[in-house]
Structure 1
Amino acid sequence: MSPSDRRAPTNAEDLLALLRERDLPHVKVGAFDVDGIFRGKYMSRKKFEGSLEKGFGFCNVVLGWDNNDQLYDNVSVAGWHNGYEDAGLRLLPETTRLIPFEDDLPLVLGEFTGVYESVCPRGVLRRVLDRAASMGYDVAAAAEFEFFVFDETPHSIREKGYRNLRTITPGFFGYSMLRAGVHAEFYEDLLATCRAMDMELEGLHTETGPGVLEAALTVTDALTAADNAALFKTFTKILAQRQGWMATFMAKWSPDWPGQSGHLHLSLTDKETGASAFHDADKPYRMSDAMRWFVGGQQALMPELLSMVASTVNSYTRLIPGFWAPTDAAWGVENRTTALRVIPGSPKSQRVEYRISAADINPHIALAAAIGSGLWGIENRIEPGDPIEGNAYEKSLPATRALPRTLMEAADRLKASEPARMLFGDGFVDHFAATRQWEEREFRRAITDWEMARYFEII
């Protein structure tokens, strides 16, 4: 695939001019739901031109069902009680991307409006960033994802009952130039698509494990970084399936291999001066007071906000000792066994890595939690505990640093959190907590292979 030299328009006037110049009959539009799934459709140019100014109606069921399109029975924002009416969606021309394998068809993101704005994932992050701006900060962010790629199709995985799946490569082979060369066409397809869609990758390589890759997206402003991360997950899966493969961003798909991370890198700059708000050459680890309090807030609120980051039942299978995933709200300096890794450096590179998050995150909601808790820390001058040196799994930490061990426990903690309600609003907290409680209830209805093998004959 050779993407064209066309650049995506960044405002309504240029976008409309592009549609008319190319006489495009349709545009793609969409928004991200509570699970980070991209929901959208093709829209005729005539309807799009009217909707660009006034918005349009999008069935509110996309905010009232789970990732399997099953209707929640415990939320108020969407349901039979309001007839699954239309939710308003405003289109955001500044988010326009051109899809290279659809002849540079424009793709435009949207946000839910009106009563639905309170539960819109992108809207929640935008409000957190407005808070940062009111405090005098700009926020930069970047996500990096691990994902497994399989020589399977959506039909074959179901026919196999999700067992005995074939990865595109066997065994361990991290940072393999051999395997990257063998599958160069897929790598180049992914790199070129990301470049053409303005979500360029800083790095792409094999990780240790069968068929697992890691991609690091380029740092940008936090709202764009969330859009990029969510689109990257969607289009990686699209490209894999177009090749007859499948990519998964589950937190952990096999008990035999490490889970898949979705780490977030964050930094603040002073809005007036453009200088790093995290860097102070005269302080330990070059951490400014603002950075120290930011990390303190993240550490303090992590147990209460965990369901916003570890948002699936599967997320909690990754949070066990010895698998490169944290188990407590600990922080350290250049320590990859802790939930928060402070990375000292120059004013440009000083940042914190939010390592609790897995590849299954909704990027908008996870970034809202990671940034919002840090801002809360600055506002309240929250001092973090002592940094962990060495293996965090072997350290004894206060009970207040322990993380919830199940999605239900995490959802209950979120629902009871006053800081969460202050940061994200009652509407979001009540809705999101309810959706996570539903998710665990759905899991509790299932009879797993493990239960059958353990109990069927013996018990």
Structure 2
Amino acid sequence: MDPREVKSVEDARTLIEDSMFKHIKVGVFDIDGVMRGKYMSRDKFLSALHKGFGFCDVVLGWDVKDQLYDNVAYTGWHTGYPDAQVRIIPSSCRTLPLESGGVFFLAEFADKAEAVCPRSLLKRVVSKAKDMGVEVDCGFEYEFFVFEETPHSIREKSFQGLTPMAPSEFGYSVIRNSVESDTYLSLLQLADDMDFPLEGLHEETGPGVLEAAIAHDEAINAADKAALFKTFTKVALQKQGKTATFMAKWSKDYPGQSGHIHLSLKDRDGLNLFYDGEREANMSATMRHFVAGQQKLMPDLMAMIAPTINSYRRLIPGFWAPTEASIGIDNRTCAIRVIPGDIQSQRLEYRIGAADANPYVILAAVIASGLWGMENKLEPECMVEGNAYDKTFPEHLQFPSTLWEAAQRLKNCQMARDFFGSPFVEHFAATREWEEREYRKHISMWELERYFEII
């Protein structure tokens, strides 16, 4: 049986029992979208297929540096960090081409942990959409810089003076993707082999920066594919002696790295609900309500959209990143770009997203805010023609300027509690507050160079 034909627990059992695999890799994504996992013995995996398995809940209680949160209710020293129940997702089965065979399964948190699990969060939002009679089709695009460095050499250089895969700016360069064809083709083949196929892969503007467009799919599958793409692209490049970064902005000299989302809604018969050929830009009433909800809630949900300290380095004028909750027709200076098309291609591009966002969390925010707009039959504000950076927007459409402010906005957002559940809102906001407090503890080189002697 081909691993991508696995759909049920029994299919997964048959695949493993008919194979020679002694160990199976299982992974689950944490709050920041980082995969945590392990190899499981054949017998342990087969047992876990039916009844799940326990996984230390610390992975929902620490940050990207494995530092323990001191401000979350879900887990901590006060609970003793017990095991959380985890269920294996049979339909996620994939080969591991970078490991000479073997198979991999995604898992997700269950029971009590389900309330704060990112993948379960998105499932709740998708369920809400289905209750409203709509299905979500979407695809992620990622920009990422590639360096001729290893994780060790980057640290030895203190993240300074790094050698990019290619020098200078050369967007869409056929020279670059021909010279580096081995790297390009290896990533394209990996994406096919692991079923997160790419519709496009090209050189972006900046030394060694690539952009990948992942083929669209229904929402849960799309987020799975985006999260797996980020993880295994890093693995593939490190095996080649290279390193990729998906930071929102790694250098002040270059544009930030986007994580744009293309999205449309379909009814149960597969009809595109965003299309109406009789209206301006082919925008149906449903599309107008959907993007209006996204626009109005974007500032309140910014912690889910821009979840790191570094995220806010990217949100500055003139660097291809939106700075207010703007909407425009085929306008890349806006936070939401309405893309006019036909009955198949009419869609929106959510351009505020950066490459550092957790795919499950940001997609939950993108979809839920749109559904809220549909429920309330909202209309877009301040449709932009021309350069959105030159426009003045009302205060309620301006973004929070720091992660701390964004976390407070999220906690005070009633829609977030209604759609995501208060346990998730409290937990996620607390993790963002922790991130801000950790940042405040450190003294930057900029501060030392600016103040140490002269002030």
In the superposition, the TM-score normalised over structure 2's length comes to 0.99
Q: Which amino acid aligns with 2:122?
A: L
* Residues 337 and 391, structure 1, Cα contact 8 Å, conserved in 2: yes
Report the CA distance between 1:281 and its aligned residue: 0.8
Structure 2 partner of 1:285:
281
Structure 1 partner of 2:238:
241
Aligned length: 455
In 1, the alpha carbon distance for the partners of 2:222 and 2:428 equals: 22
Report the CA distance between 1:184 and its aligned residue: 1.0
The correspondence of residues 182-331 of structure 1 with structure 2, limited to 5 A, is: 182-271=179-268, 273-331=269-327
Structure 2 partner of 1:44:
41
Q: Does 1:71 align with 2:68?
A: yes
Structure 2 partner of 1:175:
172
Stretches of structure 2 that go unaligned for 5 or more consecutive residues are: none
Alpha-carbon distance change, 326 to 12 in structure 1, aligned in 2, over 3 angstroms: same
In 2, the alpha carbon distance for the partners of 1:105 and 1:333 equals: 46
Structure 2 partner of 1:415:
411
* Residues 11 and 93, structure 1, Cα contact 8 Å, conserved in 2: yes
* Residues 4 and 91, structure 2, Cα contact 8 Å, conserved in 1: no
In 2, the alpha carbon distance for the partners of 1:20 and 1:57 equals: 23
In 2, the alpha carbon distance for the partners of 1:282 and 1:25 equals: 59
In 1, the alpha carbon distance for the partners of 2:377 and 2:79 equals: 43
Structure 2 partner of 1:453:
449
Report the CA distance between 1:14 and its aligned residue: 2.3
In 2, the alpha carbon distance for the partners of 1:100 and 1:374 equals: 38
The correspondence of residues 297-376 of structure 1 with structure 2, limited to 5 A, is: 297-376=293-372
The correspondence of residues 29-40 of structure 1 with structure 2, limited to 5 A, is: 29-40=26-37
Structure 2 partner of 1:405:
401
2:18 partner SS: helix
2:106 partner SS: strand
Q: Which amino acid aligns with 2:48?
A: S
* Residues 145 and 263, structure 1, Cα contact 8 Å, conserved in 2: yes
In 2, the alpha carbon distance for the partners of 1:7 and 1:136 equals: 28
In 1, the alpha carbon distance for the partners of 2:249 and 2:388 equals: 21
For residues 194-221 of structure 1, give each alpha carbon's deviation from its aligned partner in whole angstroms, at most 9, with x where no partner exists. Answer: 1011110000000011000000000110
1:145 to 138, 142, 145: 142
Report the CA distance between 1:104 and its aligned residue: 2.9
1:377 partner SS: helix
Alpha-carbon distance change, 458 to 62 in structure 1, aligned in 2, over 3 angstroms: same
Q: Which amino acid aligns with 1:385?
A: E
2:344 partner SS: coil
In 1, the alpha carbon distance for the partners of 2:172 and 2:284 equals: 34
In 1, the alpha carbon distance for the partners of 2:277 and 2:440 equals: 51
* Residues 115 and 421, structure 2, Cα contact 8 Å, conserved in 1: yes
1:27 partner SS: strand
Q: Which amino acid aligns with 2:51?
A: K
Report the CA distance between 1:434 and its aligned residue: 0.2
* Residues 8 and 98, structure 1, Cα contact 8 Å, conserved in 2: no
Q: Which amino acid aligns with 1:86?
A: D
Stretches of structure 1 that go unaligned for 5 or more consecutive residues are: none
In 2, the alpha carbon distance for the partners of 1:195 and 1:316 equals: 33
* Residues 292 and 384, structure 1, Cα contact 8 Å, conserved in 2: yes
Structure 2 partner of 1:85:
82
In 2, the alpha carbon distance for the partners of 1:41 and 1:8 equals: 23
In 2, the alpha carbon distance for the partners of 1:74 and 1:158 equals: 30
2:183 partner SS: helix
The correspondence of residues 8-157 of structure 1 with structure 2, limited to 5 A, is: 8-157=5-154
Report the CA distance between 1:347 and its aligned residue: 1.2
* Residues 111 and 123, structure 1, Cα contact 8 Å, conserved in 2: yes
Report the CA distance between 1:458 and its aligned residue: 1.1
In 1, the alpha carbon distance for the partners of 2:31 and 2:80 equals: 20
* Residues 293 and 374, structure 1, Cα contact 8 Å, conserved in 2: yes
For residues 352-406 of structure 1, give each alpha carbon's deviation from its aligned partner in whole angstroms, at most 9, with x where no partner exists. Answer: 1110000001000000000000000001111111310000010011111100011
1:82 partner SS: coil
Report the CA distance between 1:92 and its aligned residue: 0.6
In 1, the alpha carbon distance for the partners of 2:215 and 2:76 equals: 39
Report the CA distance between 1:9 and its aligned residue: 2.2
In 1, the alpha carbon distance for the partners of 2:382 and 2:397 equals: 12
Report the CA distance between 1:7 and its aligned residue: 4.5
In 2, the alpha carbon distance for the partners of 1:48 and 1:5 equals: 18
* Residues 8 and 106, structure 1, Cα contact 8 Å, conserved in 2: no
In 1, the alpha carbon distance for the partners of 2:298 and 2:7 equals: 36
Report the CA distance between 1:102 and its aligned residue: 1.8
Q: Which amino acid aligns with 2:232?
A: F
Q: Which amino acid aligns with 2:161?
A: N
In 2, the alpha carbon distance for the partners of 1:104 and 1:195 equals: 15
Report the CA distance between 1:168 and its aligned residue: 1.0
1:358 partner SS: coil
1:161 to 137, 143, 158: 158
* Residues 76 and 431, structure 1, Cα contact 8 Å, conserved in 2: yes
Report the CA distance between 1:5 and its aligned residue: 7.8
* Residues 91 and 110, structure 1, Cα contact 8 Å, conserved in 2: yes
Q: Does 1:395 align with 2:391?
A: yes
* Residues 8 and 97, structure 1, Cα contact 8 Å, conserved in 2: no
* Residues 172 and 210, structure 1, Cα contact 8 Å, conserved in 2: yes
In 2, the alpha carbon distance for the partners of 1:8 and 1:259 equals: 38
Q: Which amino acid aligns with 1:253?
A: W
In 2, the alpha carbon distance for the partners of 1:47 and 1:239 equals: 28
Report the CA distance between 1:284 and its aligned residue: 1.3
Give 4+ residue runs of structure 1 displaced > 3 Å after superposition: 4-8
In 1, the alpha carbon distance for the partners of 2:348 and 2:367 equals: 11
In 2, the alpha carbon distance for the partners of 1:6 and 1:154 equals: 31
In 2, the alpha carbon distance for the partners of 1:49 and 1:218 equals: 32
